[in-house]
Structure 1
């Protein structure tokens, strides 16, 4: 049931993460806004008049998280359907597919396979896939969602597939062929299936303390109907809030018609490292030959990027691009700089245009991001999943280039705004895990403090939308917050990003949970969006 928006709620007896008072233990919410933060003693003045008094029993209250890059329908399908994430072997993946196929009407949709860690060292053949599904149509996206397995039956539903770049008659499909078969699979979802998946994604987000999502939609990743139905579903409920991005070159009118806040998101400049489609200056280490090196795929030129950024800036709309490889990032920088020359640097900076993923940056591109006012919408869980000496990054690029990826500390030092997200279902919705991944980056020089990472996953998501006052618990701010069961709160010492935790209250800095690897992550007890409870444990 929807709560009254004018209710007064007093929370007391806990720890409130607020810059207004680093020692706050209580907070008063009136309607959709925070009215007061302070001590339990002072809170007694509000206890008799509050509609609800919540005894926190030592729980932590923080701003709700913002996931700055999600695909809600695909996330919901992974939550409710065939999940191949973490399959240890090809044989196990085929067994899971075979078990799911008889229970599915229409197209079987699954996600998450990753052959890079399988002992067989390869994905299923088309014949193996057809046998596992008993000939049914099936679409199974790889963990990076830039290539997919498709059965013969599904391929037959996509006319002209064999003529598209990225087509493989026996193996996974990538590039344009993948986009075509994904559109075909999603087109066969019923409205009820789509709504169920979207509801599952929103419910999961709320249960994890996420109060807002940035949906990165587009003609190659979902559909106009998918985005419209998601925004309508979010508007019907109390939360999480959903802000849509429409990733189509020249799609300004479409973005406006759909109610999107930007013409960007997954507007692909390149692909992904996992599928060897991220666009690189130097070739991939584990593909191609000296005579035929593999550099990935470039979908947009710098000139096309410049035209799109200039048009979005003129229209007062935020642009954004998916760019992972260093060649793709350089194309974005070149294009945005050309747009700034055309319409003015200050106007370009004011729009806070975005770059999604932005993994392969050097010092020059980091400085360019800061100069051009580009927001880096990044996913620390990518490093947790694929970084390290034995990870996929090293397989694809070698140790030296892999160590340069996801340079969060360098971006923060340069003044590049960071907004954290998951790219779910590529990596799961997991906000505290994301903060941990940034603070304990597999390359130590790229680590940032827990406090900075938490800010990037809360306030950073709002700042990426141009809403600088949101994502913080101070009087007058929007009351979107989460309540957490935690162990000890700690303050990370400024001179150490690995150890050096402090519980000294004299620091005057609000504490956050201990996120040292191996330590249990906080449990969400309650999520509130604009004063309305959307999750209660």
Structure 2
């Protein structure tokens, strides 16, 4: 384990993003906490006591980002292995699969990121086409939304009772229970060394991007107890981002397992439904391009039982819910739990809903009423929104335009915590802030300042730690240092234009996030006062 002695670090000569002093240029860190922020002149009093002085040379210092929804092992496997994200065609994807399969000595080839909606062929590979590329290897390839997957014949053969599972297809992608089964079979073939390497890759990449904390959304259908335990142990013994685990298993068993593993909640990817891209998000009205309404995994009664059990245990609950019918079931269940164990007790725990995409005004109001935290991913809109995006293909233009209503949620007082759902979308914190500020549906846009808060302090508030995620004396010293061009202040009445560099505003500035402008680059990340990344 790395030695972690308390040190005093003085940063000076930059721009410190702090509500304690909007003109701050220096910051003092003592041990794990921020001790002071202020001017360079006042900082001279601390120069003699500092163990280290960091000359910022005009750099921006902000709270480190919090990614409120990740899957570390899968993300690391995509970072270090077969990543099909951005493949221009099915043919190109098959060529990439064949190249990786040719180098596979044994075990399972695991990859991620294919998206047939962006391919000219307009479809996923058949089983015969996949087997041809795999050359006999066992292959598991998750779709970009991670709610369906391609599996070669060799992998299907070692997955028990696969053909009897809901969502099985003899020739195409697997979804629902069949997907969960084949994913478990694939991940079971990972060695401890492969898992550790993948998790380390994710932690290192997060640190390079100025991310100081991750919420790992684990569970029996998305990973395993062993996977979460290994990740939490790895984070504790290495210098890197803090990791907070969620365990997505229903009822008393889920509460007990979450407690045993040291998870902060029994939720995360506890699936109420699936995803829009895989036609498994649960809707009130059928898909525009399919004659069904998706898949409901949980009833309102099951949700109520789980929320009540978590509330009695003092543990945060949470559910994956994307479609409007799934969200309605969650809201009905949480409300019923409140009637059973007390609405104030339910509200106090800030139970979470992951993704929460298809919300109308009534649902937004219910989120506020029930004290629910919305753990959302703005990059989903950047990837699949807009007039030509996947959302319109699946739902039609009118319904698609209602997805991810961040502005309405903020107006109603719904707490937002931003994440990536990596590997579904990449770890990319400034890109996430930009995606929220420049939502492809203009009425859903929020200010860059509000988006930045949702991706920093919002992640800590989702954990019940309201004092952190901000650079003020007494807060945990998890921060990042950025090379930026001009800092700007957004006019409050114009969420797209109206950028100003006038210092008289008294508001800390942020980088210009206008699409096409280069995003900031991180040159240092610190977690609880320890430097975990330093650019070479």
User: Common fold, TM-score beyond 0.5?
Assistant: yes
> Aligned-residue CA RMSD in angstroms?
0.7
Pick from 273, 279, 285 the counterpart of residue 288 of structure 2: 285
**Partner SS state of residue 66, structure 1:** strand
> Aligned residue for 1:426?
424
Alignment coverage as a number of residue pairs: 532
Residue 5 of structure 1 aligns to a residue whose secondary structure is coil
Structural mapping, 1:39-78, within 5 Å: 39-78=39-78
Instruction: Give matches, 1:313-324, under 5 Å.
Output: 313-324=311-322
Instruction: Measure the CA separation in 1 of the matches of 2:388 and 2:3.
Output: 50
1:262 is matched with: 265
Matches within 5 A, 1:49-448: 49-104=49-104, 105-250=106-251, 251-288=254-291, 294-448=292-446
Partner residue in 2 for 1:482: 480
Unpaired stretches in structure 1, ≥5 consecutive residues:
289-293
Counterpart contact for 2:2–2:237, Cα < 8 Å:
no
Distance, in Å, in 2 between the alignment partners of 1:466 and 1:103 is: 46
Q: 1:239 and 1:161 mapped to 2: Cα distance?
A: 39
Could you tell me which residue of structure 2 aligns to residue 452 of structure 1?
450
Tell me the distance in 2 between the aligned counterparts of 1:422 and 1:345: 31
Instruction: Select 1:517's aligned residue among 515, 522, 525.
Output: 515
Distance 1:491 1:437 in 2: 17
Q: In 2, are the aligned partners of 1:2 and 1:532 still within 8 Å (CA)?
A: no
Give the Cα–Cα distance (whole angstroms) in 2 for the partners of residues 196 and 94 of structure 1.
Answer: 26
CA deviation after TM superposition for structure 1 residue 5, in Å: 3.2
Q: Cα offset for 1:103?
A: 1.6
Hey, what's the Cα distance between the residues in 2 that align with 1:15 and 1:213?
A: 25
Conserved in 2, the CA contact under 8 Å of 1:357 and 1:378? yes
Deviation at 1:3, TM superposition (A): 5.9
Give the TM-score normalised by structure 1: 0.98
Give the C-alpha shift of residue 459 in structure 1: 0.2
Contact 1:305 1:335 in 2 (8 A): yes
Shift of 1:237: 1.3
Q: Is the 8 A contact 1:5 1:532 kept in 2?
A: no
CA contact (8 A) 2:218 2:268 kept: yes
Question: Which residue does the alignment assign to 1:30?
Answer: 30
**1:238: Cα distance to partner?**
2.4
- The CA distance in 2 between the partners of 1:367 and 1:318, in whole Å, is 21
Describe the superposition over 1:300-330 as per-residue Cα deviations: whole angstroms up to 9, x where unpaired. 0000000000010000000000000000000
Partners of 2:179 and 2:22 lie apart in 1 by 50
Question: Cα distance, 1:159 vs. partner?
Answer: 1.4
| 2:269 match: secondary structure | coil
Q: CA deviation at 1:45?
A: 1.0
Q: Alpha-carbon deviation of 1:6?
A: 1.6
TM-score (norm 2): 0.99
1:507 Cα deviation after fit: 0.7
In the alignment, is the contact (CA less than 8 A) between 1:5 and 1:32 conserved in 2? Answer: no
Conserved 8 A contact 1:333-1:368: yes
The C-alpha deviation readout for 1:235-275, integer Å capped at 9, x for no partner, is 10122000000000110000000000000000000000000
| Cα-to-partner distance string for 1:106-148 (whole Å, 9 max, x where unaligned) | 1000000000010111110100100101011000000000000
Q: Any idea what SS the aligned residue of 1:462 has?
A: helix
**Shift of residue 2 of structure 1?**
3.9
Give the CA deviation at 1:470: 0.4
- Counterpart-to-counterpart distance in 1, 2:4 and 2:303: 46
* Structure 2 residues without counterparts, runs of 5 or longer: none
In structure 2, what is the equivalent of residue 291 of structure 1?
none
Query: Matched residues in 2 for 1:2 and 1:55: separation?
Result: 25
Mean CA deviation greater in 99-108 or 21-30: 99-108
SS in 2 for 1:216: strand
Q: Is this contact kept in 2: 1:66–1:421, CA < 8 A?
A: yes
The whole-number CA distance in structure 2 between the counterparts of 1:400 and 1:316 is 40
